[in-house]
Amino acid sequence: MASSELELVRELIGLNWHTRNGDVEPRRVAYDRAQEAFGHLGLPPGETVVIGDCSAEWVRPAQEDGRTLLYLHGGSYALGSPQSHRHLSSALGAAAGAAVLALHYRRPPESPFPAAVEDAVAAYRMLRERGLPPGRITFAGDSAGAGLAVAALQVLRDAGDPLPAAAVCISPWADLACEGASHVTRKEREILLDTEDLLRMAGRYLAGTDPRNPLASPAHGDLTGLPPLLIQVGSEEVLYDDARALEQAALKAGVPVTFDEWPEMFHVWHWYHPVLPEGRAAVETAGVFLRRATEEGER
């Protein structure tokens, strides 16, 4: 049974329906400010790191033991930032016992595909250049950030880079063609996403690239050799079939994958963890997965 807080969160999301569509820049501002609803958390900006053509923020300071989580925020690629997800990435890092480097990857329409993928790869390589062993590094991302994490892993694998210990994919947007049946079957149950808006955002990101390109839509990729994946998805999401397709791609490739479905939950419910018990529980589950992966990476 869902918590009593769930209905309150649903009402709050409904009040902000108008922020789902429109020009990119006002939506970016609104998204970054949305986390102010949880202002009591008091999370100030962390140290900024320049990585090539983008930047990143140490949401949780680097630790002596080197256990580090590279976090890739969601927002349909064009929205979101370390600021919009600071409360979430920090909580996930705490659950994983890891420092958190939150990447501010380049976004469309200013910088379309594959800029974000290049930035994610560069961020991981920067961590490695600092002397962090791959077994002490993990990836996590939500929505577009989850797809981006798997895309970056494919690039790193193909380049022969040692791969991180594991990755968590929260409500992954893994098929930018939006062809999953759940876009229809769960349309009336979805409270956050709109498929037509997703397709517009995909068009901005892809800028003419085939949406089935595996570095844009990893559900269409060959995931052979990737590290263990945890896929978390809510039962009410239009992206539910994206999560299933990503799981099937991992299984086909022999990648260890855990599919974690949460009844009655919506897209990236983790983001509401300060007020939603299910969000806190999902963050903790993901943190345990990441912590265990790095512990195994030490052996």
Structure tokens at 98: 């890891």
Q: CB atoms < 10 A from the CB of 194, how many?
A: 16
CA-wise closest residue to 167 among 297, 298, 31:
297
CA distance 148 to 153: 9
Name the 3-class secondary structure at 106. Answer: coil
The active-site residue, picked from 55, 84, 90, 143, is: 143
Sheet arrangement for strand 68-72: 47-51, 54-60, 99-104, 68-72, 137-142, 167-170, 229-234, 257-262
81 catalytically annotated: no
Active site residues: 143
